[in-house]
Amino acid sequence: MLFERSVGLRKLISSWSFGLGAIAVMGLQFIRYQKVAETIENPDYLQQEQEILSALKLRNTAPNFGFKNLIADLTYLEFIQYYGDKSARKATGYSLSPEYFELIANHDPQFTQAYLTLSTANSVYAGKPDQTVNLMNQVLNAESLPSKNSHLMWTLKAMDESIFLGDIPAAKESYEQAADLVLKQDDARFNQQYDLATLKSAQVIRQKAQFLATKPDPTKTQINAWQSVLPNVVKQSEKQEIRDRIKSLEAKLAE
């Protein structure tokens, strides 16, 4: 009996040591990020961006010790700090948004609230709607069960697919998925007794899918969307990419 208790105690101590070690590693990563992101008197924002990028890449490949959700939570808090640093964003733009998005998607596909923010940041401010759609697909395909706001994720994906990428068939399918999910979520809450707000929401989303079924020309909408993104992008190479895309769409519209 004494031997069994001794073995059990050793296992418990080992388990606690492992967990504390994992938390310590993640804590060191978080402290490193905080030091990188600190506001200093004469900040070198370009250097800070490179150091943050290195920290994010390291975290994305480092062992998670079973604390995936915690890593996703910490990363999202860091993203909010990154996103809100207006002085730094004027200098470097929002080009690390895809890195934050990918890291969180890899660690917690159910973190819906984060993706609703990251989607807008990545598409409208970083000018990467194609990456947003790919990452949204990764998250939605990895969901074991639809979350409370899954329909909003499908809706945002549909908007990126239609107004930025001009992929009307994909956008139509996304809107249909969103409408179905609104009703499914209501099923679970009210045993298939839909309330008026739910029916109205599903109807509005379904109407968007029906409109896209008419195969409208999205070119003018795409031009306006990309023009709205252009002021948010800082890097000249990325700005030129967007200008070239706008010129191509304008040429298509003039045909």
Lookup result for tokens 């040591």? 17
**CA triplet 58, 63, 64: central angle to 5 degrees?**
105
Q: By the 8 A CB rule, do 96 and 49 touch?
A: yes
> Domain map of the chain by residue range?
30-143
Q: Which residue has the higher pLDDT, 88 or 12?
A: 88
Residue 21 has pLDDT above 70, yes or no: no
Amino acid found at 91? A
Q: How far apart are CA 215 and CA 246, in angstroms?
A: 21
Residue 46 has pLDDT above 70, yes or no: yes
Predicted confidence band of residue 12 (pLDDT cuts 50, 70, 90)? very low
Name the pTM for this structure: 0.79
Q: What is the pLDDT of residue 143?
A: 73
Residue 189 has pLDDT above 90, yes or no: no
DSSP string of the chain?
-HHHHHHHHHHHHHHHHHHHHHHHHHHHHHHHHHHHH---SS--HHHHHHHHHHHHHHHHHS--TT-HHHHHHHHHHHHHHHHH-HHHHHHHTTTTHHHHHHHHHHH-TT-HHHHHHHHHIIIIIS--HHHHHHHHHHHHHH-SS--TTHHHHHHHHHHIIIIIT--HHHHHHHHHHHHHHHHHHHHHHHTT---HHHHHHHHHHHHHHHHHTT----HHHHHHHHHHHGGG---HHHHHHHHHHHHHHHHHHH-
Instruction: Give me 234's structure tokens.
Output: 């800082």
Q: What is the pLDDT of residue 92?
A: 93
